[in-house]
Amino acid sequence: MTITFLELYNECAGQPWSMFDNDAESEEDFESSMKISINKAVSFLWDYQPWSFRINTSKITTRANKAGYTLPEGIILKKVINGENYYGIRYGKTYLTYAKDYELLDEKTGEPEQFYIENDVLYIYPTPDDVYTLNLKYLSQNYALDEDDNEIYELKEDTDKLNIPEKYESKFKNCVISLAMIYAIADDSDENHSGYVRQYEDALAVLINYCKNGTVDRNIVW
Residues 122-132 have pLDDT tens digits of: 999 999 999 99
Q: What integer pLDDT is reported at residue 215 of this predicted model?
A: 36
Q: What integer pLDDT is reported at residue 8 of this predicted model?
A: 96
Q: State the average pLDDT over residues 165-175.
A: 94
Instruction: Tell me the per-residue pLDDT of 95-146, one tens digit each, with 9 for 90 and over.
Output: 999 999 999 999 999 999 999 999 989 999 999 999 999 999 999 999 999 9
Instruction: Report the alpha-carbon distance of residue 145 to residue 195 in Å, rounded.
Output: 31
Cβ atoms of 99 and 115 within 8 Å: the answer is yes
Cis omega (within 30 of 0) for bond into 126: yes
Question: How confident is residue 93, by pLDDT bands cut at 50, 70 and 90?
Answer: very high
Q: What integer pLDDT is reported at residue 220 of this predicted model?
A: 41
Please state, in angstroms and as integers, the Cα–Cα distance from residue 116 to each residue in 72, 89, 113, following that order.
14, 11, 11
Instruction: Report the alpha-carbon distance of residue 2 to residue 55 in Å, rounded.
Output: 19
211, pLDDT greater than 90: no
Domain ranges across the chain: 5-51+144-214, 54-140
Instruction: Tell me the per-residue pLDDT of 4-58, one tens digit each, with 9 for 90 and over.
Output: 999 999 999 999 888 899 999 999 999 999 999 999 999 999 999 889 899 999 9
